[in-house]
Amino acid sequence: MSPHVVICGAGFGGLELTARLSAAFGREIDITLIDKNDAFVFGYSKLDVMFGRERTDTVRLPYSSISKPGVHFRQETITAIDPEARRVTTDGGSYDADILVVALGADYDPAATPGLVEGGNEFYSVAGAERLREVLPGFSKGRAIVGVTSTPFKCPPAPSEAALLLHDYLTARGVRDACEISLVMPFGVPIPPSPETSEALLDAFAERDITFVPDRLVRSLDPARRVAILDDETEMPYDLFLGIPKHRVPGVVAASGMTEDGWIPVNSLTLETRFPGIYAVGDVTSVGTPKAGVFSEGAARVVATEIIAALESGEQPAGYDGIGSCYIEFGSGRVGRVEVQFLSGQPPTGTYYGASAALVAEKKDFGSSRRARWFGLD
């Protein structure tokens, strides 16, 4: 009998793992890949949707396109995970796994920030980005705040990207002079592991008259007075609030008993959980890398090598190195890149590749190579 690998979550981590295992074993493996949605959307596509650069239907990658040997995709909602029994229950049935991989990502809890739902917006979900696409054309003067409400949060460069793209968007509409843009971040600089990247971003903010508010979180909004209240009680008036909502594990993961301090702890080299035969990858873990797709994908690569080694007595992987490369939208048609290394035993370090038009093409290739590898799409 083929070993049954159950992969919970078809995001960056689950898709990469599925592609690698299918390529290695073909029909010799039985992979059940489960996701509640019918399509995958890259995180960065939400910025494109929000600023009207793309339509939602053009950035959705339908799971129905996945046609890989040994892979069965189930569009079902996972309602329980029993790590002792390695059993996953969904609204469509239940699955017993020889090897179980939890790649369910991070959910959002906008209601955890008082006033955010009533008086603000978030652009971290597809629905939030779609709503903002309708809201933004109505903003022609006043104060805009891009604000982080809690840590950890996905893709640390994304708030900076949103502020820079908002500048472009308002400039293109001829209303930039009537608007102020501020960015509230919980770090002293935009990208702490890479001083060079931070300097480039701070220069870009200064050139565009974007106010960077370091070392602060937005604790609440008072919609009646239209003020954002920061964690040091400072009040910032706003007319448009673009929030990064509180992140947490999906409810089903919290209920599974696999978490500690809110996230699933794993062996940082092997991505194994404390439950035999169960791995966890990506945003759902507390592995020590930022919550970003490239890190979820890197962790999935390691798990794939381990599963291949275990089932074929092959080469053991070297261990997860926590290296990831993120593209950063600088606006004005340019993209930068930062390569960061975590988990080396030393403080994280980063290398910056200056914003250019060439990196716009490289980012496009990054997306197309995943479309091809994961979905078989051109």
Please report, as ranges, the residues that interact with ligand FAD according to CB under 6 A.
Answer: 9-14, 34-37, 43-44, 46-47, 77-78, 103-105, 124, 154-155, 158, 250, 252, 282-283, 291-294, 296, 326-327
Choose between 129 and 227: whose C-beta lies nearer to ligand FAD.
129
> With helix as H, strand as E and coil as C, how does 167-188 read?
HHHHHHCCCHHHEEEEEECCCC
Choose between 115 and 243: whose C-beta lies nearer to ligand FAD.
243
| Phi, psi for residue 297 in degrees, rounded to 5 | -65, -45
The minimum distance between CB 141 and ligand FAD, in angstroms, equals 25
Which amino acid is it at 173? Answer: R
Q: How many CB atoms lie within 10 A of CB 82?
A: 15
Choose between 74 and 227: whose C-beta lies nearer to ligand FAD.
74
The minimum distance between CB 174 and ligand FAD, in angstroms, equals 26
The minimum distance between CB 44 and ligand FAD, in angstroms, equals 4
User: Looking at residue 315, what DSSP letter applies?
Assistant: P
The minimum distance between CB 126 and ligand FAD, in angstroms, equals 9
Going by DSSP bridges, is the β-strand pair 78-82/87-90 parallel, antiparallel, or unpaired? antiparallel
The minimum distance between CB 363 and ligand FAD, in angstroms, equals 8
Going by DSSP bridges, is the β-strand pair 240-244/121-122 parallel, antiparallel, or unpaired? parallel
Choose between 148 and 308: whose C-beta lies nearer to ligand FAD.
148
DSSP-assigned beta bridge partners for residue 213? 184
Choose between 99 and 252: whose C-beta lies nearer to ligand FAD.
252
H or E element, residue 159: helix 158-172
| In the complex, residue closest to ligand FAD by CB | 11
Lookup: tokens for 308 = 């291949």
The minimum distance between CB 178 and ligand FAD, in angstroms, equals 26
Q: Are 176 and 186 in contact (CB under 8 A)?
A: no
| Phi, psi for residue 251 in degrees, rounded to 5 | -55, -40
CA dist 267 → 169, 179, 309 (Å): 43, 47, 17
Choose between 43 and 348: whose C-beta lies nearer to ligand FAD.
43
